[in-house]
């Protein structure tokens, strides 16, 4: 198992729009493509409270590449994502890391 940690740094004041996009659009596309989220978090204390961190579970990097690329290329996803940013962008910057659990990790 590989866990992908993604951090979306939002434009000022746009975190609520990102939450709306996830709950109203993105999660449906994740289900369509078999993308399995582990959880979602907002930052309580840190450099910015305008970010969303979430984890995705993958069996391999090959699985991730196949499913993520199909999701990103979906014309309906592109249309709906663009519509949510028609007036101004939501996410200014994305960070991601791929994590492998240790032998003593409760989540493996």
The domain that holds 23 is classified in CATH as 3.30.70.100
Residue 108 lies in a domain: no
DSSP element (H, E) containing 37 = strand 36-42
> What does the alpha-carbon distance between residue 3 and residue 90 come to, in Å, rounded to a whole number?
24
What pTM was estimated for this model as a whole? 0.93
Angle, CA of 41, 43 and 45, to the nearest 5°: 145
Segment 48-77, tens digit of pLDDT: 899 999 999 999 999 999 999 999 999 999
pLDDT for residue 107: 81
Residue 58 lies in a domain: yes
Scored b (16 or more CB within 10 A) or e, 71-100 reads beeeeebeebbeebeeeeebbeeeeeeeee
Range of the domain at 61: 2-99
């Amino acid at each position: 198992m590989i866990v992908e940690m993604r951090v979306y740094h939002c434009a000022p004041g746009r975190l609520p729009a990102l939450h709306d996009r996830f709950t109203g659009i993105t999660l449906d596309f994740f289900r369509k493509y078999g993308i399995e989220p582990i959880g979602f978090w907002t930052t309580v204390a840190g450099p910015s409270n305008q970010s969303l961190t979430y984890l995705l579970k993958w069996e391999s990097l090959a699985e991730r590449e196949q499913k993520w690329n199909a999701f990103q290329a979906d014309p309906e996803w592109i249309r709906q994502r663009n519509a949510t940013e028609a007036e101004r962008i939501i996410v200014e910057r994305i960070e991601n890391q791929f994590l492998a659990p240790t032998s003593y990790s409760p989540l493996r």
